Structure 1
Amino acid sequence: MLCVRAGRIERAVEVNGRFLAACNDAAVVRTAHEALLQGNLDRAERLLAEGQLDDALAMAEQAVRTAHDWQAGNALVERAAALRDRVRTARQQIAAGRKPEETNER
């Protein structure tokens, strides 16, 4: 989880994957996947708040795919989709020559 907190999502997924490959407890696997997804969403929201829209969108879209692949809880799936939509809206506003609305609301 330290990798997630440090923003090293790829490394966290790698380490987590090795651990989970040996784990037969479905609840542990689900909890670990959801923790990684939470970290990914937190990082994407920070990028959005910093105005790094391309990186935020890439992370949000990956989070949506991951949430579905891992069959994450509905709240995480909805959070990932809402974040992706907020980033897309901000990009559209910029493309239209407008200042993006508040981007760091959940």
Structure 2
Amino acid sequence: MMHHGEGLISNISGNILVDLLGEKSTRYIKTCLEASIDHLTKFMELRLKVELEKPEEENHLSDNVENIKLFVQYSGEYFELTGPETLEMVKEDYWKKNTKPLELFYNFDLTAAKEV
């Protein structure tokens, strides 16, 4: 039986990325607790690429989203989450006494793409 969890994923970079994404810089997600950090990272990569596309530009330039990392905040510190770790493991390690939805944070690099 799959267990589901709810949570927020927010950007922690505090730079121009938040300006580019606006309200989309924070996401509400509902997924199974068996989802891995690799899975969530891939999801974030795809969503960010779609949202940062600039279809109105005739020169077909698009920024590249790279080095996406997910973090959890615990005791005032950010801890990077890694690949095969599941949300269930994250909840058990960092969130077991917290009754709020799990809150994750992300950061990524944005590099200018070459003309295609």
Question: Which entry has the higher C-alpha Rg, 1 or 2?
Answer: 2
Question: Which protein has the bigger helix share?
Answer: 1
Question: Which protein has the bigger strand share?
Answer: 2
Specify which structure has the bigger relative contact order, considering alpha-carbon pairs within 8 angstroms and separated by 6 or more residues.
Answer: 2
